[in-house]
Amino acid sequence: MDGIDQFSTSGAYVHAGEEFTRDTNYIEDRITRDGVPGAKGEPGWRVEPDRYRLVVARACPWAHRATIVRRLLGLEDVISLGICGPTHDVRSWTFDLDEGGKDPVLGIERLQQAYFTRFPDYPRGITVPAIVDVPSGAVVTNNFPQITLDFSTEWTDFHRAGAPDLYPEALRDEIDTVNKRVFTEVNNGVYRCGFAGSQAAYDAAYERLFTALDWLSERLAVQRYLVGDSITEADIRLFTTLVRFDAVYHGHFKCNRAKLTEMPVLWAYARDLFQTPGFGDTVNFGQIKQHYYIVHTDLNPTQIVPDGPDESGWSTAHHREGLGGRPFGAGTAPSRPATEG
């Protein structure tokens, strides 16, 4: 989820002398079991099968979370998926991967069109993930932290049999606490390094990032998952940054104290998740690299996309089973093949 000003979809630029600050003003409408009225006075966005389309980009870590949660919970048959290409211009993410360059359900070339349908003068970045109301063609929300929580708590009537509880009520306070630190120091921390506008801003961001990664390594050295003994929302939020770390953040964002592969606990933890259905089968390293290295021309003016790193290590043994726990708790793994996302 990138967005700072009305002219930007990536929202991440180097501003000389400044620390990178992420815009966290989202369209805060929610889709709920009972239907919460919308910001423009709509009668309410109610959970309904086949009404909404989740628009993502495989490249984007914030959208990747929603793709994983949708798959783990088995919501593929009730919430359709639109996939933007890995690159975009200053106006919008585009559907250039689809035939004719148009989303086959929404019939639009740019995600911007769904935003403007609802907010003709929408002043902020056109961001993914976004949920679009298919009948009206209007964006409902781009509030990425809330989207996945609502998938877990408001869409339960449509979860697959055996769907895991990714946000168990008894653990929510701890999950929220962990998520807050992971977001500020890791998920957003890599961006603060990459788009620091001064040496001092970069040095401070670098120190905060690796202090948090050290903390996570210590925590995960004695437990298989971040909170409790099965996968939760917290693991999903951390994974989407870790899986991009060596491919993008280590070099492109100068997060180079160590590669993920040189941090033994986090590397084993990330491989454990990658090899779990719903995680690695939603990763597209090619599109991840294309996005960052082509779009961020202030960091990479040549737009050359690196060939490495070698991806074969992701399938090697992780030996995390010895820490106990069950990936899906009392639930089961998704059995349907990952045919999209």
> How does the average pLDDT of the chain come out, rounded?
93
Q: What is the pLDDT of residues 103-137, one digit of tens each?
A: 999 999 999 999 999 999 999 999 999 999 999 99
Q: Is the pLDDT of residue 5 over 60?
A: no
pLDDT confidence of residue 27: 94
Catalytic residues: 60, 191
Per-residue pLDDT, averaged over 297-315, amounts to: 97
* CA–CA distance, 299 with 252 (Å, rounded to integer): 7
pLDDT confidence of residue 336: 83
Cβ neighbors of 87 (< 8 A, separation 6 or more) are 290, 291, 294, 295
pLDDT confidence of residue 4: 32
**Res. 163 pLDDT band, cuts 50 70 90:** very high
* CA–CA distance, 218 with 318 (Å, rounded to integer): 17
* CA–CA distance, 35 with 184 (Å, rounded to integer): 31
Q: Are 68 and 279 in contact (CB under 8 A)?
A: yes
* CA–CA distance, 302 with 115 (Å, rounded to integer): 31
Q: Is the pLDDT of residue 164 over 90?
A: yes
Q: What is the pLDDT of residues 56-104, one digit of tens each?
A: 999 999 999 999 999 999 999 999 999 999 999 888 999 999 999 999 9
Q: What is the pTM of this model?
A: 0.94
Q: What is the pLDDT of residues 241-254, one digit of tens each?
A: 999 999 999 999 99
pLDDT confidence of residue 9: 42
DSSP characters over 246-290: IIIITTTT---S--GGGSHHHHHHHHHHHTSTTTGGG--HHHHHH
Per-residue pLDDT, averaged over 29-57, amounts to: 90
Paired residues of 138 in beta bridges? 133
* CA–CA distance, 228 with 232 (Å, rounded to integer): 8
Q: Are 86 and 71 in contact (CB under 8 A)?
A: no
pLDDT confidence of residue 318: 98
| Rounded-to-5 percentages of helix, strand, coil across the chain | 40, 10, 50
Cβ neighbors of 297 (< 8 A, separation 6 or more) are 303
CA 151 to centroid of chain Cα atoms: 14
| Token duo for residue 206 | 């670098």
Paired residues of 132 in beta bridges? 53, 139
Tell me the pairing of strands 52-57 and 80-84.
parallel
* CA–CA distance, 113 with 131 (Å, rounded to integer): 13
Strand 52-57: give its sheet, edge to edge. 80-84, 52-57, 130-133, 138-141
Return the amino acid letter for 69: V
Q: Before 86, cis peptide (omega within 30)?
A: no
| Token duo for residue 209 | 């990032």
Q: What is the pLDDT of residues 10-27, one digit of tens each?
A: 455 555 666 777 777 899
* CA–CA distance, 133 with 148 (Å, rounded to integer): 17
**What b/e sequence results for 169-183 when a residue is b if at least 16 CB atoms lie within 10 Å of its CB, and e otherwise?**
eebbeebeebbeebb
**Res. 1 pLDDT band, cuts 50 70 90:** very low
Q: Which structural domains are found in the chain, ordered by start?
A: 169-323 (1.20.1050.10)
